[in-house]
C-alpha cells in the first residue's frame, strides 16, 4: 500500500510524506510525529485527516445540529444520568470497584439501547462471548439484538467497529485493552491512556458513542479510571456498599448534562432494577421517632432525595474519643462538632461520636450540616425530633445558618413523602407548602434553644 501523508506537525497540523526535524509549514523544531492510523484499513485515516484544521463560523451552525441528537434507552435512571439520553459520538467512562455490578449494568443498558433501535456492540475483554451470553440469559436478555465480541486487541476492535458501524459500542473494560504500538503490558498507564485516546478519537471521527468500563484499582500497577477522565465527555461512577442491595450511578463530569446527577438501582437476582423513588427506599422502616435519627432533605443532581442521618454519642473509654463517619465527610463532622462547642457551648470532649448515612448513601452537600448537627444533639441529649420532620441548612463557622439552594423542591419532596414539618434556615424567599409546617432558624444557637432546650 502506498504510504502518503503519514507524518504531521503537532504544532500547525501540516502533513508530510516523510519525517524531518523541522516543520516546513511553521518552522517549529521536533514537532513532526508519525500519524498512527486507528487501524490498518484506510477509510478511518482519511476521515480523521480530512477536516483537520478547518474552521466554521459559530453563527453558521444550523440549529438542527444543536442540541446534539440523543438516544434514550427507556431506563429513566440511566437516561437521566447521561443528561437526558446518549449523545451521538460521545465517549463515556463508567468507573467503579470490581464486582460492584458494572458489567451487569452495561449489558442491561446494551440490551435496552438495542431494543430501542440503537445498533449496539458489546465488546468484552474479560469474558468469553459464551459467558456474556450466559449472563444475558440470567438477566433475561438473551433475545436482545446486541452483537457480542470477545477481544482485547484495540486494532482488531476498531477494525470490527469500522466494519460493523454500530451507533453504540461498549468496551468492558479499558484495562484489558492493548494497543500494539505501545510497548507495555495491558492495564499500564500508557496502555490505558493510549487505548482510551484511540477509542475517544475514533468515537468522534466515526460518530459512534463509546462507553468504556474502568475498574477502580487499589494497586499502583494497574491504571485506574482517573487516568482517562479528562479525555472523555462523561464520567460516571457506579457506587454502593457491598452489604446493601442498592447501587448509585453518579455523574461526576458531563459535557452534555448536569454533573452530580444520580440514578438509583436495586440489585436483584435477575439484574439491576431501577428505583424511581429513592427517598422511599432510603427512609424505609421509619416508625417511632428515635433519638439520634434525623431526616435530611437533600438534592442529588436535579432531584430531591430524603435520607436519614443517624448519630450515636456515647461516653468514651479511650483518651482519644472516636469519630467514625460512614457516608459523609469526616472533616465536615469535626467542623460541626467544633461549631457546636464554640458557638453553643455544647462540648463533645470525652464522647465517642458515630455518624452514619442510612442505606449506604454518600452525601456531599453542605446543606446536610444542620441535619447532622440535629442528629448529634438528639443523640447526645437523648431527645428525639418528631419523626415527620425534615431538616436542611448549611452551618457557617460563625454558627449562622445559610439558606440552601432549591429550598422549595426539598420541601415539596418532604411533603410528598408524608412529612408534616420541616426546619430550614431563615432568609431567602418565603415559601408555604400546604400541609407542611415550616420553621426557620437563623443561627445554630437559636435552633438548639428551640428544639433541644439548651
Ligand atoms: P458484575 O456486573 O460482574 O461486576 P463488575 O463488572 O463491576 O465487576 O457483578 C458482580 C456480581 O454481582 C456478579 O456475580 C453478578 C452479581 N449481581 C447480581 O446478582 N445482581 C445484580 O443486580 C448485579 C448488579 C450483580
Ligand atoms: Mg465486569
Three cell numbers at 90? 460521545
Residues within 6 Å of ligand 1 by CB: 96, 98-104, 267-268, 271-272
Nearest residue (CA) to ligand 1, atom 2:
101
At how many degrees (to 10) do helices 43-50 and 189-206 cross? 80
The total number of residues shown for the chain amounts to 454
d(CA 7, CA 182): 18
Residues flanking ion ligand 2, Cβ below 5 Å:
103
Is there a binding annotation on residue 46?
A: no
d(CA 412, CA 389): 13
Is there a binding annotation on residue 210?
A: no
Residue whose CB lies within 8 A of the most ligand 1 atoms, among 96, 99, 108, for a mutation test: 99
Ligand closest to 125 (CA) is 2
pTM of the model: 0.77
pLDDT, mean of each 10-residue run, the chain (454 residues): 58 75 80 57 48 72 63 89 92 93 94 93 92 92 92 92 93 91 84 92 92 83 82 92 84 89 89 86 73 92 89 94 94 96 94 91 92 95 90 95 92 89 88 88 92 76
Task: Tell me the C-alpha to C-alpha distance, in Å, between residue 59 and each of 65, 102, 107, 204.
Answer: 12, 41, 40, 22
CA of 104 to the centre of ligand 2 (A): 7
d(CA 342, CA 375): 18
Ligand 1 closest atom vs CA 213: 6
The domain limits of the chain are 1-35, 68-276, 281-452
Through-space distance between the first and last CA atoms of the chain, rounded to whole angstroms:
85
Chain CA centroid to CA 81, Å? 8
Residue pair 248/262 in contact by the 8 Å Cβ criterion = yes
Is there a binding annotation on residue 103?
A: yes
Q: Which residues contact 344 (CB under 8 A, 6 or more apart)?
A: 399, 444, 445, 448, 454
Is there a binding annotation on residue 278?
A: no
CA of 100 to the centre of ligand 1 (A): 6
CA of 125 to the centre of ligand 2 (A): 9
* pLDDT score at 315: 95
Q: How many CB atoms lie within 10 A of CB 144?
A: 18
Ligand closest to 134 (CA) is 1
Q: Which residues contact 205 (CB under 8 A, 6 or more apart)?
A: 38, 44, 47, 48
CATH of 281-452, one of 3.40.1390.20, 3.30.230.10, 3.30.750.200, 3.40.190.10: 3.30.230.10
ipTM of the complex: 0.96
Nearest residue (CA) to ligand 1, atom 10:
99
Is there a binding annotation on residue 100?
A: yes
Closest by Cα among 292, 273, 308 to 391:
308
CATH of 68-276, one of 3.30.70.1400, 3.40.109.10, 3.40.1000.10, 3.40.50.300: 3.40.50.300
* pLDDT score at 36: 53
Amino acid at each position: 500500500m502506498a504510504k502518503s501523508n503519514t507524518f504531521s506537525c503537532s504544532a500547525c497540523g501540516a502533513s508530510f510524506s516523510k519525517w524531518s526535524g523541522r516543520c516546513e509549514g511553521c518552522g517549529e523544531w521536533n514537532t513532526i510525529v508519525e500519524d498512527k492510523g486507528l487501524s490498518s484499513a484506510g477509510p478511518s485515516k482519511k476521515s480523521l485527516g480530512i477536516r483537520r484544521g478547518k474552521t466554521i463560523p459559530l453563527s453558521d451552525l444550523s440549529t438542527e445540529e444543536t442540541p446534539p441528537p440523543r438516544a434514550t434507552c427507556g431506563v429513566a435512571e440511566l437516561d437521566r444520568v447521561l443528561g437526558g439520553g446518549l449523545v451521538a459520538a460521545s465517549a463515556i467512562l463508567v468507573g467503579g470497584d470490581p464486582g460492584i455490578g458494572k458489567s451487569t449494568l452495561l449489558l442491561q443498558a446494551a440490551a435496552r439501547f438495542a431494543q430501542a433501535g440503537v445498533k449496539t456492540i458489546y465488546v468484552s475483554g474479560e469474558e468469553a462471548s459464551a459467558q456474556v451470553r450466559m449472563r444475558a440469559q440470567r438477566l433475561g436478555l438473551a433475545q436482545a439484538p446486541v452483537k457480542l465480541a470477545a477481544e482485547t486487541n484495540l486494532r482488531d476492535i476498531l477494525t470490527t467497529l469500522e466494519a460493523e458501524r454500530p451507533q453504540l459500542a461498549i468496551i468492558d473494560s479499558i484495562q484489558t485493552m492493548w494497543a500494539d504500538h505501545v510497548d507495555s503490558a495491558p492495564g499500564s498507564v500508557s496502555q490505558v491512556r493510549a487505548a482510551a485516546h484511540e477509542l475517544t478519537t475514533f468515537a468522534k471521527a466515526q460518530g459512534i458513542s463509546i462507553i468504556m468500563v474502568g475498574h477502580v484499582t487499589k494497586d499502583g500497577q494497574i491504571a485506574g479510571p482517573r487516568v482517562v477522565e479528562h479525555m472523555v465527555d462523561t464520567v460516571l461512577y457506579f457506587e454502593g456498599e457491598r452489604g446493601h442491595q442498592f447501587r448509585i450511578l453518579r455523574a461526576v463530569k458531563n459535557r452534555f448534562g448536569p454533573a452530580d446527577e444520580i440514578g438509583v438501582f436495586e440489585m436483584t437476582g435477575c439484574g439491576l432494577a431501577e428505583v424511581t423513588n429513592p427517598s422511599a427506599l432510603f427512609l424505609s422502616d421509619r416508625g417511632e421517632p428515635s433519638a439520634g435519627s434525623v431526616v435530611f432533605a437533600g438534592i442529588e443532581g436535579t432531584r430531591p432525595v430524603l435520607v436519614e442521618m443517624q448519630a450515636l454519642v456515647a461516653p468514651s473509654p479511650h483518651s482519644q474519643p472516636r469519630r467514625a463517619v460512614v457516608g459523609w465527610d469526616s472533616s465536615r463532622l469535626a467542623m460541626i462538632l467544633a461549631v457546636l462547642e464554640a458557638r453553643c457551648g455544647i462540648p463533645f470532649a470525652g464522647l465517642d461520636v458515630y455518624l452514619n448515612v442510612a442505606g449506604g448513601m454518600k452525601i456531599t452537600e453542605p446543606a446536610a450540616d444542620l441535619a447532622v448537627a440535629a442528629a448529634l444533639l438528639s443523640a447526645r441529649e437523648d431527645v428525639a425530633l418528631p419523626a415527620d420532620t425534615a431538616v436542611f441548612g448549611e452551618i457557617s463557622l460563625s454558627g449562622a445558618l445559610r439558606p440552601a439552594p432549591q429550598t422549595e423542591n426539598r420541601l415539596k419532596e418532604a411533603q410528598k413523602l408524608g412529612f408534616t414539618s420541616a426546619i430550614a434556615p431563615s432568609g431567602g424567599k418565603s415559601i408555604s407548602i400546604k400541609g407542611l409546617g415550616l420553621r426557620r432558624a437563623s443561627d445554630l444557637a437559636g435552633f438548639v434553644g428551640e428544639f433541644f432546650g439548651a
